[in-house]
Structure 1
Amino acid sequence: MERERFGSRLGFILISAGCAIGLGNVWRFPYITGEYGGAAFLVLYLIFLVVLGLPILVMEFAVGRGSQRSIARAFNVLEPAGTHWHKYKWIGGAGCYLLMMFYTTVAGWMLAYVPKMASGQLAGADAAGTQAVFDAMLANPVEVVFWMVLVCVIAILICSLGVQKGVERVTKVMMLALLAILGVLVVRALTLPGAGEGVSFYLLPDFSKIFASPDTFFKAAYAAMGQAFFTLSIGMGSMTIFGSYIDKHRSLMGEAATIGALDTGVALATGLIIFPACFAFGVAPDSGPGLVFITLPSVFEQMWLGQVWGTLFFVFMSFAALSTVIAVFEGILRFSMDQWGWSRKRAVIVNLIAIPLLSLPCALGFNVLSDVVMPGVGDIQTVEDFLVSSNIMPLGSLVFVLFCVSRRGWGWKNFLAEANEGTGLKFPGWLHNWMRFGVPVLVVIILIMGWVPIVTAWLA
């Protein structure tokens, strides 16, 4: 059977960016930036994005394009005889399922807030009022499960139409709408009275905030490294699949740089909505994960036409979340199709049942199963997120890097030839030693540091 292809380069870029642009950009990024002092953290983040995130993204694309397979068969095609790189596919595949097991629930929250904002349910609410609405939603298992299942059904049905007619066509529209809504919201936030203070906090670096002590700098650097690493959705094979769907007309470094720029641009622009709005209405910009669901709705309620701006914001958040869900679902379907020769229809039917069922523990973890916690980690959603973000993604990235630099793997020459085929920005050959030693060290640091607070809590 002939392999499906993207219909256009724009489709590839927007879908890959859509996979990368998710809640990590628009939910996690602003509150971490707020926590670590604004612009100084941005500088650290951008450095790590260039030296760590983008090179690994190129390697994952190259493995996909070079093999013309998803992670299910990519290593089998490229690895030397007698090696066992292909065994990682089971961990990568499990990572995609694990990600969906909690991401569909959080994406459901975003969808749920569109009608909440549009109907005026949050009208006139202060921070305590918006906290009560959010808590009531989490405590209602029927509501949380309904929105989670709706996310699964939307994503699977889009993927069932195929790469060009479903995934590419819908994601292109969704991503262009996301960028348009983002632009409108940024203009609105920047025209608020007192917005300038928020822009200064966000874009004028004050390095004294991260150099206050060695401990502060180390925490900020680790957070920046982690954000630059996780924001591109690398390591699980979700980007391998998109590499396998593109032609060889353009070099992969240029494509990765474009996707990285889009991904970072959305994250930065989200900050240009949140920080000016927070400063304009006297709200702390470092209010943690509750920033989106608790702090921002109360901020929008103080604005002129706040209901409209708030609704638009959650439509934007929903598109960001859904674009990632659709992209990862496509990777899951293609895994089944490449590994076992399933038809797309069969893969859709199996996963339409499997993914909502697997997602139930997370959806119920805030109500019926709220007593289920892992010491030192937290509730079900936090445990699933930890397993993916702090374990499978770093481990997978290490596998991709070592596979591309090792003579016992695909090898540096083969990787470079694939990455640099076509017109556009080339991957520098002189980065060999950095990819061989520097990047693996940084990835191992991310792996170890993810476990430090948990082991400390266990030993306490």
Structure 2
Amino acid sequence: MNQQREKFSSRLGFILISAGCAIGLGNVWKFPYVTGKYGGAAFVLIYILFLVLLGIPILVTELSVGRASQRSVAMSMDVLEQKGTKWHYFKYFAMAGNYLLMMFYTTVAGWMLYYFIQMASGGFGGLDQDGVANIFGSMLENPALMAGFMIEVVLIGFGICSRGLQKGVEKITKVMMVLLLLLMVVLAVRSAVLEGGEEGLRFYLTPDFSALKENGILEVLFAALGQAFFTLSIGMGAIAIFGSYIDRSRSLTGEAVFITLLDTSVALMSGLIIFPACFAYGINPGAGPSLIFITLPNVFNAMPGGRLWGSLFFLFMCFAALSTVIAVFQNIISFGTDLTNASRKKVVFINLVAIILLSLPCVLGFNLLSGIQPLGAGSTVLDFEDFIVSNNILPLGSVVYVLFCSMKMGWGWDNFMAEANSGKGLRFPKSIRFYIQWILPLVVLFVFVMGYKSLFFS
């Protein structure tokens, strides 16, 4: 248990990989259609407000616990908690969150890989919206095809992680993140100059608060909160692990701000890619998950050079998905090594098999198990797994981190402040202890409860 812990080779590596964990399908698959559904710019403002008021402070608490303990969430609270307290039981809740996230995330990442291959090989050429919808429907109805691409994603992710932190995770993710950011800029510029795209920019960038009333303000708040937690991956130790791999030369508030800025920039830029394109070709931007898989291939078909632009778009989606898969797999591997002291290769092999088996219900939920509709008519296993993670584990886990860092019976405010403010950079303000300990958890819990109310009693 006392073996030397591997470290990142550079600060840039830490920021890009932590942002890579946060940057994923939440930014580029979920954010645009949720924004479209809840009225565009007004929703974006609420989402950014939640990131500043809730996301950044929670990110600092999670990074602090990781860096102070030099452990994954499997052992971090065991190391830091007061004797006789039971905070360490949180590890099971957090570990369940990481596995649950990968149970559906690997399937959707597999869709991105399949779509990249289809787009690059000309599989969508000449198809109208119904034709593209048939390809998506055929994929969902084919469990062997979906399982194959899901397994490919799992093999790629664990293959990279098996090479270690610096030689695998850091080296590959750095390249992917730089390419992802470059692709986004190119695609955003291309979309912004489309004829008829101005209306999409207006919808995305000009707040219309009447849209909040139409959807119900509490439902919009719940959606924005869920999106903020999902996009930052906070509350289940997926970010804390990267805190355990850095030294104390930089304060953690500045690092948290950098990670949030990168994450938010990608989410906002994905809107700049998608909304002008939707409006230019007369498509509903609130079309739900099908926006990416049915609507956009059709948009690319209508564009000059669409096959190239579509291929670049789905390559960027693959990078976004894989950056999160690699980061969460690294956390899962660290659970195993911290808890058992087994070799990295043994832990990788066991988890590779486990994740493939655990991901099968999501794959089969669209075909053989489609009769199982856990959240009501039309819902799938994926919807249920996403709901448990995004709307339960991430917000409730975040409350645990905040209380652990602010309460005397936890790790304690003074210990947290000393860790967060160790090193150069932006300081975490002492004056907001009351807000952190009382207001922030109550806000999260209130919106959490109201979200359940709107889901089951609206």
Q: TM-score range by the shorter chain?
A: over 0.9
Measured after TM superposition, the shift of residue 327 of structure 1 is 0.3
Q: Deviations over 1:81-128 (max 9, x none)?
A: 000100110111111111111110010000000111111111122221
Q: Deviations over 1:275-319 (max 9, x none)?
A: 111111111111112100011111111000101111110000011
Q: Distance in 1 between matches of 2:61 and 2:442?
A: 17
The worse-fitting range, judged by mean Cα deviation, of 438-447 and 12-21 is 438-447
Q: Identity across aligned pairs (percent)? A: 57
Q: Distance in 2 between matches of 1:392 and 1:134?
A: 30
The worse-fitting range, judged by mean Cα deviation, of 443-452 and 112-121 is 443-452
Measured after TM superposition, the shift of residue 222 of structure 1 is 2.3
Counterpart in the other structure of 2:438:
437
Counterpart in the other structure of 2:402:
401
Measured after TM superposition, the shift of residue 453 of structure 1 is 4.5
Counterpart in the other structure of 1:333:
333
**AA partner of residue 65 (structure 1):** R
Say if 1:156 and 1:352, in contact at 8 Å, map to a contact too.
yes
- SS of corresponding position for 2:74: helix
Say if 1:376 and 1:454, in contact at 8 Å, map to a contact too.
no
Measured after TM superposition, the shift of residue 421 of structure 1 is 0.7
Q: Distance in 1 between matches of 2:268 and 2:438?
A: 30
**AA partner of residue 205 (structure 2):** L
Counterpart in the other structure of 1:259:
259
Q: Distance in 2 between matches of 1:43 and 1:387?
A: 25
Q: Distance in 1 between matches of 2:313 and 2:402?
A: 37
Q: Deviations over 1:22-71 (max 9, x none)?
A: 11110111111111221111111111110011110110000000111100
Measured after TM superposition, the shift of residue 393 of structure 1 is 1.2
| Counterpart mapping for 1:72-221 below 5 A | 72-210=74-212, 212=213, 216-221=216-221
Q: Distance in 2 between matches of 1:143 and 1:186?
A: 31
Counterpart in the other structure of 1:29:
31
Say if 2:72 and 2:331, in contact at 8 Å, map to a contact too.
yes
Q: Deviations over 1:398-449 (max 9, x none)?
A: 1101101100001111111100111111111111111111111122124323
Q: May I ask how many residue pairs the two structures share in their alignment?
A: 455
Counterpart in the other structure of 1:449:
450
Q: Deviations over 1:193-212 (max 9, x none)?
A: 122221111112223332x4
Q: Distance in 2 between matches of 1:222 and 1:387?
A: 14
Q: Deviations over 1:362-387 (max 9, x none)?
A: 11111121122225383211111111
Q: Distance in 2 between matches of 1:28 and 1:327?
A: 19
Q: Distance in 2 between matches of 1:388 and 1:220?
A: 18
RMSD over aligned Cα, in angstroms?
A: 1.3
Counterpart in the other structure of 2:15:
13
Counterpart in the other structure of 1:424:
425
**AA partner of residue 203 (structure 1):** L
The worse-fitting range, judged by mean Cα deviation, of 138-147 and 31-40 is 31-40
Q: Distance in 1 between matches of 2:217 and 2:389?
A: 25
Say if 2:218 and 2:450, in contact at 8 Å, map to a contact too.
no
Q: Distance in 1 between matches of 2:394 and 2:226?
A: 11
Q: Distance in 1 between matches of 2:280 and 2:33?
A: 17
Measured after TM superposition, the shift of residue 221 of structure 1 is 2.3
1:354 aligns with 2:386: no
Measured after TM superposition, the shift of residue 454 of structure 1 is 4.9
TM-score by length of 1: 0.97
| Counterpart mapping for 1:63-78 below 5 A | 63-78=65-80
Counterpart in the other structure of 2:301:
301
Consecutive unaligned residues of structure 2, counting only runs of 5 or more, are none
Q: Distance in 1 between matches of 2:163 and 2:68?
A: 26
Say if 1:390 and 1:446, in contact at 8 Å, map to a contact too.
no
Q: Which residue among 3, 6, 17 is the counterpart of 2:5?
A: 3
TM-score by length of 2: 0.97
Q: Distance in 2 between matches of 1:381 and 1:225?
A: 20
Measured after TM superposition, the shift of residue 338 of structure 1 is 0.4
Q: Deviations over 1:137-173 (max 9, x none)?
A: 0101110000000000000010000000000000000
CA change 1:339–1:439 in 2 (3 A) is same
